[in-house]
Chains A and B, each alone.
Chain A
């Protein structure tokens, strides 16, 4: 009998299973975009047939990091910027887990930037949702890596001199095999994109536009938005890097001019995930590490056999 019976369990899953009991109630501000992510995830997970117990959500610190406090899966609320290394390792230790990492733009693109680039580069088979509200929410409104140039905050009172980071382009260039942008105001698309991302074998990065009405006073609600897949104005091939890159560039520039473009931008089904690559070179065991500890018949090699070379 497996030690992880929740994994691969097939049954009808009720959305409410993902909602904790009475406690804790979300502490997000009214109108916060984070509610949109929570809702989309709660809808997407049962639709892809995942039970709450086979999903591990790993978050960073920030308003966004509270996501798994309100989502009843296995969860690990880590530290600021470090969700990805924790998530990656959990997936390596037990590749059968469905691992979803999440955090804010400060968390993921700022302090955790290095981890993000390398997780994308290695194409780990995890889903990464970044709540992009162009601001630090939890620490009360400081400028973030995606805040527009000229953005005034208490720590940049004369307006930020920095050009905002381009998360979609960065992820593509770093090696992510699935890159999309969606928005809290677009619940159906958000759900569909999350479903695709979870089912994608490789690093799936979703830049999720979430408004912060509290600190981003002139917060764009990201409406009206345009779904690039639905619109006749945009025609590009999501499997073509070059076309995807151009589309991303346009999308990222347009956002700061007030045009919100969302959709899937790059999907590479052919690139093997890191787990597959590592298996191929013989550096990832067939059996999940975690499983092996419960397996009474498992062979545990011991160091004694290595001593020959020291004699």
Chain B
């Protein structure tokens, strides 16, 4: 737990502008040369309910939320706005101060809005005593009155940011710039005034007693602050995607929205349709007719897509689907992350499935693997699924802008031109042998035609079919077609191993005795935990796996063979990923223990460290965090 980092938590009621305020503040921190990582906690409702955003900022790289935090800005009330109409509008009281004290680190700083909390409220909290015990520095400021005086009450967020900047001795320059970009006229004037006034209160009216200051840092290259959803949407754009169909469901809606907003300007088509069955079926139809198409949803909506997904497999129609997990089963916890849909995504839909599944573990992987998903889908005529979760979807972090500077790849893969079709095999009636490949084609792919092309006529069908596309139950043909479809997975594995940098991420000391394996968005917390463990004298290395199907057997096997023991970290209750490893490798059950968390909050690095200490280093104690340890199968 380094001291040279700021973890700023802004807390209030949802709908109070916490999100936009924190987004801007995070950007200002990034612009001042820091690495940032945001974590958002919000309840599943439109207004009201306690919400907070954490921004972790440091001079060094940060890949995860931290453990706890060291600066609390408690504002927002979410009371009914109109007291007479409480009965209709709700009168819930949010307590941003009391609800956030548990995770505040020793020596931390608290700024709370005096204008919103009565003296009794504060007395009830026993704040003075707790502050003394924990070494907290508490600054009550009447942010509301300050905001009201120069503008409107809702601008108290700005006042809070101003006080924060003052207390941290932070330059206002970047915050001002961002405000100027976002607003104009009287609103801008008022906000700037509030910002300055609040900033100057520090020193004038508020006496600073703490040591926490803004960390220093410098970026050598230009940075951009973006979320996993941004990265997936941008990966799709650069992968040539120009058709998206969907039905809203949190958290998939983010990707859907970003593409819907950008497509009109780039000649793409976005369709919001009647349900998820339709959404995925539209992707299939658009792809069949020649567009690079995508759809997606979250667990419940993805369940409905299982039919068109199978249709895409059987007709060998390339599509990309995204599955943004949230806690299940059923509607579950709509705004909470979980990695509980892995088995569902791998195996849903009838029959022997032939699909590709990638699980990016961070924002850069999300962009890269989305591009790759489009490439693989169109090259191999197979549905490709990106599975990620609410955490990766919503967290923002800074990425080197140059990282995204790549040429788009609109290539339709194994799709023939009319000239090529002229040379292709046809039967007497002029039908093109769509589902037949030349024996020397080790990709197991038979190139396709598009409706409207001359000489490419064929029938695509979800029934088993002959090379021309006629429905067929001939046993020999069935085996030929099945082998051809399934065979693609092996060919894809080969291409992934040979032509691309591994999608798997390794970290820690290569020669270490112990391993931690994880997948998807738990990566960040594990990376950090591994480096802390090594710093404290343990010998640990980590592997974060992204290829779920086809599985990178060789890489995972090699990793497991090189360690005495491994802990598999994932956010679900049934150890789904560990199960996948055992299924794919057929052994190692006695070498892997699991660290599981499924309470709706992502792992903090300290929990992984603790899991390791209890689990592997055999410290004789129960883990204190809300995690569960499942012993190795051989125990």
Contacts and interface: CB of A to CB of B under 8 A. Distances in A.
B450 A4 contact: yes
Given A86-B288, A97-B452, A53 B462 contact: no
B307 A82 contact: yes
B285 interface: yes
Given A24-B471, A69-B471, A77-B471, A293 B264 contact: no
Given A307-B401, A311-B223, A92 B315 contact: no
A211 to B, nearest CB: 24
Given A54-B452, A310-B226, A79 B269 contact: no
B307 A302 contact: no
A87 B283 CA distance: 11
A20 interface: yes
7 contacts: A5-B418, A24-B470, A77-B460, A82-B278, A90-B288, A92-B286, A302-B238
Most A CB within 10 A of own CB, among B242, B265, B429, B453: B453
B242 A289 contact: yes
Most B CB within 10 A of own CB, among A97, A115, A289: A289
Most B CB within 10 A of own CB, among A75, A118, A300, A310: A310
Contact of B269 (A4, A66, A117, A285): A285
A76 interface: yes
Most B CB within 10 A of own CB, among A24, A78, A284, A291: A78
Contact of A294 (B245, B273, B284, B417): B417
B408 A302 contact: yes
Interface residues of A, number: 69
Nearest to A95: B289
A82 B277 contact: yes
Interface residues of B, number: 83
B293 interface: yes
Contacts of B267: 285, 287, 289, 292, 301
Nearest to A288: B290
Contact of B237 (A9, A88, A118, A302): A302
A192 interface: no
B465 to A, nearest CB: 9
A291 B460 CA distance: 20
A53 B291 CA distance: 18
A85 B277 CA distance: 9
Interface string B600-629: 000000000000000000000000000000
B281 A23 contact: no
Contact of B289 (A66, A117, A118, A290): A290
B404 interface: yes
Contacts of B281: 78, 82, 85-86, 89
Contact of A3 (B308, B417, B462): B417
B290 A307 contact: no
B454 A6 contact: yes
B532 interface: no
B112 interface: no
A283 B264 contact: yes
A303 interface: yes
B542 interface: no
Contacts of B279: 85
Nearest to A101: B285
Contacts of B307: 79, 82
A90 B268 contact: no
A114 interface: yes
Most A CB within 10 A of own CB, among B243, B275, B277: B277
A93 B452 contact: no
Interface of B: 222-226, 230, 233-235, 237-238, 240, 242-243, 245, 262-271, 273-275, 277-279, 281-293, 307-308, 310-311, 315, 401, 404-408, 410-412, 415, 417-418, 427-431, 450-463, 469-471
A115 to B, nearest CB: 6
Contact of B470 (A69, A73, A118, A311): A69
A86 to B, nearest CB: 4
Contacts of A19: 429
B286 A90 contact: yes
A280 interface: no
A24 B190 CA distance: 76
Contact of B275 (A52, A75, A114, A282): A114
A310 to B, nearest CB: 4
Contacts of B310: 79
A283 B238 contact: no
Contact of B452 (A94, A306, A307): A94
A307 B235 CA distance: 12
Most A CB within 10 A of own CB, among B262, B293, B412, B454: B454
Contacts of B238: 302-303
Given A69-B470, A73-B457, A310-B226, A302 B264 contact: no
A210 interface: no
B8 to A, nearest CB: 20
Interface in A93-108: 93-94, 96-97
Interface in A1-31: 3-7, 9, 19-24
Contact of B459 (A6, A69, A86, A90): A69
Nearest to B231: A303
Contacts of B311: 78-79, 82
A306 B234 contact: yes
A3 B284 contact: no
A301 B266 contact: yes
Contacts of A291: 290
Nearest to A60: B462
Interface string A158-170: 0000000000000
B262 A306 contact: yes
A4 B278 contact: no
Contacts of B405: 304
A56 interface: yes
